[in-house]
Amino acid sequence: MRVLIAGANGKVGKHVVRLLSESGHEALAMIRDEAQSGDIRDLGGTPIVADLEGDISNTAEGCDAVVFTAGGGPGSGAEKKETVDRQGAVKLIEAAKESGVSLYVMVSAMGAADPASGSEGMQPYLFAKARADEALRESGLDYTIVRPGRLTNEPGTGRVEAAENLGRRAEIPREDVARAIVATLEAQSTSGKTFELLSGDVPIEDAIARL
Ligand SMILES: NC(=O)c1ccc[n+]([C@@H]2O[C@H](COP(=O)([O-])OP(=O)(O)OC[C@H]3O[C@@H](n4cnc5c(N)ncnc54)[C@H](OP(=O)(O)O)[C@@H]3O)[C@@H](O)[C@H]2O)c1
């Protein structure tokens, strides 16, 4: 598969680029800065320079799928949550449609199921994520929305727990989120599904197959 990854230079994104490439797929890595190209190539990806706050039309040309794992980041204010986390995800929906790409995997967040219950500081982020998810559900694309818990930089274990509503809050290594994204793309069995994702006991491919 040829997969466009928005947020490819991020911590989850780099794992996605490497894992896709290791599995024989073409990882088209959207980066904002040409200087990041070397790192992307070292991971086996193909860099494409574009900014989600600018024009990203045509970036999905020739792709089989797109992945959104970008974000303004924890240090960013409400404005970036709007322009990157929400509008950026919506721009990727438009770019996918323009190029006839039907498969879209969104990295959302656990609290996006009920953004109003988040802390005051988290609400701009959670509402942006929830609105992006809603736009994707209404897009007509063949979507999967992944809602991981708090991300850590621990090495992945290859084992997770995944369900529409896990009913608890916990953590998951970024590497396991990336593996779940790749498993979702390869299985293509989760169309129209939204699921929460935490560390657990089930091998990732099995957890995805059971959704
Ligand atoms: N942190 C958590 O606990 C948590 C929990 C659940 C879900 N999530 C979500 O998981 C996803 C991945 O998280 P992460 O930790 O890997 O994030 P990250 O390391 O902060 O990566 C985010 C990436 O988005 C890119 N980006 C920001 N603005 C952009 C723009 N205007 N155009 C193009 N790219 C842009 C950044 O580019 P640069 O490298 O150039 O800065 C960065 O590479 C995010 O969607 C995040 O919201 C996070």
Task: Give me the domains of the chain, ranges plus CATH numbers.
Answer: 2-148 (3.40.50.720)
Fill in the amino acid letter for 180.
A
What Å distances lie between residue 136 and 32, 98, 122, CA to CA?
A: 23, 14, 21
- From the CB of 40, is ligand 1 less than 6 Å away? no
Q: Is the CB of 48 under 6 A from ligand 1?
A: no
The residue contributing the CA closest to ligand 1 atom 46 is: 71
Please indicate whether residue 104 is annotated as part of the active site. Answer: no
Chain segment 26-54, per-residue pLDDT in tens: 999 999 999 999 999 999 999 999 999 99
CB 38 near ligand 1, within 6 Å? no
pLDDT tier, 84 (very low <50, low <70, confident <90, very high otherwise): very high
CA gap 6, 99 in Å, rounded? 15
Main-chain dihedrals φ then ψ at residue 193, nearest 5 degrees: -105, 150
Q: How far is the CA of 71 from the centre of ligand 1 (A)?
A: 3
- Compute the distance from residue 54 Cα to the ligand 1 centre, in Å: 16
Look up residue 36 and give its DSSP letter.
Answer: G
How confident is the model over 177-186, as pLDDT tens digits?
Answer: 999 999 999 9
- Predicted local distance difference test score (pLDDT) of residue 74: 86
With a 6 Å cutoff on the Cβ, whether 33 touches ligand 1 is yes
Strands 202-203 and 2-6: unpaired
Please pick, among 125, 127, 143, 195, the residue that the annotation labels catalytic: 125
Confirm or reject: Cβ of 11 under 6 Å from ligand 1: yes
> Model confidence over 140-167: pLDDT tens digits?
999 999 999 999 999 999 999 999 999 9
140 lines ligand 1 (CB under 6 A): no
Distances (CA, A) of 5 to 20, 47, 79, 105: 10, 10, 22, 10
Residue 13 CA, closest ligand 1 atom number? 16
Residue nearest ligand 1's atom 34 by CA: 7
